[in-house]
Amino acid sequence: MLFKLQSKDKFSKARAGLISTDHGDIPTPIFMPVGTAGSVKAVHQRELKEDINAKIILGNTYHLYLRPGLELIQKAGGLHQFNGWDRALLTDSGGYQVYSLGANRKITEEGVIFKSHIDGSKHTFTPEGVMDIQRIIGADIIMAFDECTPYPCEYGYAKKSMDLTHRWLTRCIERVNSTSPKYDYQQTLFPIVQGSVYKDLRMQSAEFIANQHQEGNAIGGLSVGEPHEMMYEMTDLVCDILPQDKPRYLMGVGTPENILECIALGIDMFDCVMPTRNARNGMLFTTQGIINIRNEKWKDDLAPIDAELGGHVSTFYSKAYLRHVIISKEILGAQIASIHNLTFYLWLVQQARQKIEEGVFLEWKNKMVKIVSTRL
């Protein structure tokens, strides 16, 4: 993987760059649709490419390991071959999913013992094992195995957890360096900064991660319930420490407002389930603001979902029709809304990139934050 920094905003820390992988180029800032189990919910791969123009999507190690399982994925030739996606893939290591299991997992120095949410069967994830699993899945970008601390979190626990994540990272790097990709393309490991919402821990973690000299870096443990201003403060702090010439990935973030504010702080990569999850519940993100399509006010609105947006569904279907199929619980409603929201998210980061290149990002960002936060 290569990263080239192409443009910087004069009035903020926003950057435009290009990530090059063996499965294509990724212009940054970028939003990555989440395909947890190898599928972006309610969205066909063709639509991801042609309507949404996604350059990279996510899969999740924990979910793919449990179902369909590594044997089938390897037999298919990796996740790219299994799900028919020929652009870039990133896999989350499963650290967040294991964290969310709560009482169904036990964390030790060696790794994590957990029970499957599917059938209750017992499994163990170690840093080495998770690297091996991601070799088999075959994503272009693979994540280090970490512990994601909850919010709120005591200082002592946050430090202990961060130190464990760092020791695990060393083991992840050693495993990746001592093994080869399973398929005919390269894989790149991203370490993850932790430290909860404590400045000194975040700085310590960012410095440790920067000193590993990997090709990209991630920031985890945010967007887990802390106030947005606290998330921005931690992100700003970490971006000042992580190297300028490597892409920075803020994991699990977030709302359109969050994305714009964090681009301004120097983040290059984002992912979040929000655009598809909220779509299935009738919440639409548009160039004019946020719409709850279930509301009565849209019942007779025959105007396009979003006339300003590219993409087939946003301009082809009316708000009234989308409301009808969602209220009627037609599967098509979830499909249209999901494609629309992802189209909007990709449009938003593409606009951000264009404004950075034009030198007018900060003024545009301040205006857009108000618009995308408005409920219509």
Q: Which residues are known to be catalytic?
A: 92, 271
Residue 26: count of CB within 10 angstroms of its CB: 25
Q: Which residues contact 238 (CB under 8 A, 6 or more apart)?
A: 193, 202, 203, 205, 206, 219, 248
Q: How far is CA 234 from CA 107, 254, 288, 324, in A?
A: 25, 15, 30, 43
Residue 157: count of CB within 10 angstroms of its CB: 13
Q: How far is CA 216 from CA 20, 123, 243, 260, 262, in A?
A: 12, 29, 9, 21, 17
143 bridge partner residues = 190
Helix pair angle (228-239, 256-264), 10° resolution: 30
Residue 162 half-sphere exposure, CB side, CA atoms within 13 Å?
27
Tokens of 229: 């201003």
Tell me the C-alpha distance between 283 and 157, whole Å.
37
